[in-house]
């Protein structure tokens, strides 16, 4: 069914717009208040959640779990209603509750500040200044809420398909314009988007059930569902409640299989071909060992298409800190790009042997395919992107690699490095050793010189006269950063050598 999400600020006529739009289209109109009422009925402390955001307090662990609880409830309610009928939802960036559902029409409505101040002033009998403070304070709180919930800035245009300013455009005409948009093919459901909605519904129902069951409500978990298989990620070392997860979720509608995994920090390694015996493996493993991170592999073949091949599910490797099973069916073709003798499998086997195996996937497609394949729920500390576009020339390869790295960093907000960059940043090699020794010698020589020539230096610094003072200041201004750079480089290299960094 069609979904329209209207994001609105306080006193922007957003509710009237959403209701007018729903009336024109014959859709059901749902407001954020409905979600709140249901949350209160289920004893989710929404008041406390709002207060912790408003007061800019870091939430306690319990409150963070309640935040997740609320999100799961909101997502499941929206998904259920969207499956039953066409809806217009109005609230704060509601579409962010439904990631991966591509047919949502995302609209933001705004009103100029002066009009909003006048509305508040009239309604609440406040002076102009106090009304302005009130509006600005509410906007600030909303901004913080969206930032806390979704880690995005809600003013950014690219979050929405269109923004309408109701200062100049009447609610009726704005709704008319939005009606036209809603009927475009881009905003009609597709089999893929409907599957995404179904997966979100199952996932959020599971999350909700875990939050409401006495046995599992104190667990901090991440839940992801795909075609009936539910992956639940719990903290490494958590014991209480973990064994009950499959029992609690077994009765949830739409669940066929439950997979529980201990969460780890992960490194995502993406290449077109892997060499299990190569130096790259050693570089990545050194970092993984230092961070106690699992290494997740994606063998990616760049192309123009958007199809994502299926990887076959496999049993968890013995002793692996976090073994995943992937059964999400994105398209109807069953094409496996992986077999036991492939470079991917051999490298994976090596990771298992070293106790650092995450999961592995073989994919092909465009940059968008890769971006969609990167799991937003996994806490990647680093993404290694190297060795792709092997059929292109050197300069083209470098350019494309840089473009893709920037796109991934911007989208996923995780650092992306090549193998070479990892070596220079994290590993300690000959070049780093030479640099450390050279900087150490220069720093030591500077210290020796300062102490050895103390008197002349003090004499120079203390000389009377404007000219000498200027020279002394310039001298100090030049020497101090130079020494800091030498000493800093030496110390940084030393820490890298002993892996303290």
Concatenated DSSP letters for 73-117?
Answer: HHHHHHHHHHHHS-EEEEESSGGGGSTT-TT-EEEEEE--HHHHH
Task: Give the shortest CB-451-to-other proteins separation in angstroms.
Answer: 41
Q: Please identify, using beta-carbon distances, which residue of 15 and 108 lies nearer to other proteins.
A: 108
- Residue whose C-alpha is closest to residue 286's, from 345, 387, 381, 356: 356
User: Please, what is the minimum distance in Å from the beta carbon of residue 367 to other proteins?
Assistant: 8
CA atoms 108, 70, 263, 254: torsion sign:
negative
Nearest distance from residue 178's CB to other proteins, in Å?
Answer: 9
Q: Closest approach of Cβ 179 to other proteins, in Å?
A: 9
Residue among 333 and 403 whose Cβ is closer to other proteins: 403
Which residues of the shown chain bind other proteins in the complex (CB under 8 A)?
Answer: 106, 108, 110-113, 155-158, 160-165, 167-170, 173, 176-177, 180-181, 184, 186, 399-400, 402-403, 406-407, 410
Residues 6+ apart with CB under 8 A from 109: 6, 7, 8, 12, 13, 14, 17, 163, 164, 165, 166, 174
Q: In terms of CB distance, is 5 or 210 closer to other proteins?
A: 5
Return the sign of the alpha-carbon dihedral for residues 463, 465, 467, 470: positive
Neighbours of 456 (CB within 10 A): 9
Return the number of the residue (86 or 176) whose C-beta is nearest other proteins: 176
Distance, CA of 226 to CA of 189 (rounded, Å)? 18
Q: Could you tell me the smallest distance in angstroms from the CB atom of residue 457 to other proteins?
A: 35
Q: Is 343 exposed, middle or buried (0-12, 13-18, 19+ CB in 10 A)?
A: middle
Q: How far apart are CA 106 and CA 95, in angstroms?
A: 7
Least distance to other proteins from the beta carbon of 113, Å? 7
The phi, psi pair for 314, rounded to 5°, reads: -140, 155
* Pairwise CA distance, residues 195 & 199, whole Å: 6
CB of 4 to other proteins, least distance (A): 13
Select 172 or 353, whichever has its Cβ closest to other proteins.
172
* Closer residue to other proteins, CB minimum distance, 260 or 400: 400
Least CB distance to other proteins at residue 180 (A): 6
Residue closer to other proteins (CB basis): 169 or 238: 169
Segments of 137-265 assigned E as strands: 162-165, 222-226, 229-234, 257-262
Q: How far is the CB of 195 from other proteins (least distance, A)?
A: 20
Evaluate whether 30 touches 85 at the Cβ level (below 8 Å).
no
Q: Which is nearer to other proteins, 39 or 131 (CB)?
A: 131
Shortest distance in whole angstroms from residue 184 CB to other proteins: 6
For residues 116 and 209, which CB has a smaller minimum distance to other proteins in the complex?
Answer: 116
CB of 186 to other proteins, least distance (A): 6
Closest to other proteins by CB, 132 vs 342, is 132
- Separation between Cα atoms, residue 120 and residue 123, nearest integer Å: 5
What is d(CA 419, CA 277) in angstroms, rounded to the nearest whole number? 15
Minimum gap (Å) between residue 111 Cβ and other proteins: 7
| Euclidean distance between CA atoms 3 and 90, whole angstroms | 11
Cβ atoms of 385 and 420 closer than 8 Å: no
Residues 6+ apart with CB under 8 A from 349: 276
Largest CA distance in the chain: 89
Q: How far is the CB of 105 from other proteins (least distance, A)?
A: 9
CA distances from 130 to 125, 134, 135, 336 (A): 10, 6, 9, 64
Q: Which is nearer to other proteins, 118 or 491 (CB)?
A: 118
Phi then psi for residue 45, to 5 deg, are -75, 70
- Which residue's CB is nearer to other proteins, number 153 or number 292? 153
* Cβ atoms 166, 109 nearer than 8 A: yes
State which residue, 153 or 333, has the beta carbon closest to other proteins: 153
Number of helices (H), then strands (E), belonging to the chain: the values are: 17, 13
Alpha-carbon distances of 258 from 64, 218, 251, 252, 253, rounded to whole Å: 24, 19, 11, 11, 13
Q: How far apart are the first and last CA of the chain?
A: 51
Token pair listed for 204? 């959020």
């Amino acid at each position: 069914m069609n979904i329209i999400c209207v994001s609105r600020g306080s006193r922007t006529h957003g509710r009237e717009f959403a209701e007018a739009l729903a009336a024109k289209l014959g859709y059901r109109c749902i407001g954020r208040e409905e979600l709140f009422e249901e949350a209160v009925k289920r004893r989710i402390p929404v008041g406390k959640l709002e207060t912790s955001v408003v007061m800019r307090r870091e939430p306690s662990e319990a409150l963070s779990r309640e935040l997740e609880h609320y999100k799961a409830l909101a997502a499941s309610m929206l998904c259920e209603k969207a499956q039953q009928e066409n809806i217009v939802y109005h609230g704060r960036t509601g579409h962010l509750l439904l990631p991966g559902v591509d047919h949502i029409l995302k609209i933001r409505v705004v009103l100029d500040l002066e009009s909003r101040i006048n509305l508040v002033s009239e309604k609440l009998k406040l002076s102009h200044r106090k009304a302005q403070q009130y509006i600005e304070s509410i906007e600030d709180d909303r901004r913080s809420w969206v930032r806390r919930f979704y880690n995005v800035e809600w003013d950014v245009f690219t979050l929405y398909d269109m923004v309408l300013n109701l200062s100049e455009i009447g609610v009726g005409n704005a709704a008319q314009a939005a009606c036209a948009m809603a009927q475009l093919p881009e905003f009609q459901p597709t089999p893929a988007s409907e599957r995404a909605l179904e997966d979100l519904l199952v996932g959020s129902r599971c999350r909700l059930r875990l939050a409401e069951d006495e046995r599992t409500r104190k667990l901090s978990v991440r839940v992801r569902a795909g075609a009936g298989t539910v992956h639940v990620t719990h903290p490494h070392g958590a014991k209480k409640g973990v064994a009950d997860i499959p029992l609690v979720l077994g009765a949830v509608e739409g669940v066929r299989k439950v997979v529980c995994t201990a969460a780890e920090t992960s490194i995502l390694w993406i290449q077109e071909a892997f060499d299990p015996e190569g130096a790259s493996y050693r570089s990545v493993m050194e970092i993984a060992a230092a961070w106690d991170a699992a290494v997740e592999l994606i063998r990616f073949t760049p192309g123009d298409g958007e199809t994502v091949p299926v990887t076959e599910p496999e049993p968890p490797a013995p002793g692996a800190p976090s073994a995943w099973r992937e059964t999400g069916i994105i398209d109807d073709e069953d094409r496996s790009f992986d077999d036991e003798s492939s470079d991917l499998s051999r490298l994976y086997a090596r990771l298992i042997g070293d106790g650092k195996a995450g999961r592995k996937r073989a994919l092909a497609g465009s940059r968008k395919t890769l971006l969609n394949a990167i799991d937003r729920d996994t806490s990647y500390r680093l993404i290694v992107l190297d060795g792709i576009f092997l059929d292109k020339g050197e300069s083209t390869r470098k350019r494309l690699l840089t473009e893709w790295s920037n796109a991934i960093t911007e989208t996923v907000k995780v650092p992306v490095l090549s193998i070479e960059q990892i070596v220079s940043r994290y590993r300690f090699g000959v070049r780093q050793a030479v640099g450390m020794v050279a900087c150490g010698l220069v720093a030591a020589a500077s210290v020796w010189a300062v102490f050895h020539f103390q008197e002349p230096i003090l004499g120079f610094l203390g000389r009377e006269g404007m000219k000498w003072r200027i020279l002394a200041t310039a001298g100090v201004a030049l020497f101090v950063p130079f020494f800091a750079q030498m000493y800093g480089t030496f110390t940084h290299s030393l820490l890298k050598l002993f892996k303290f960094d």
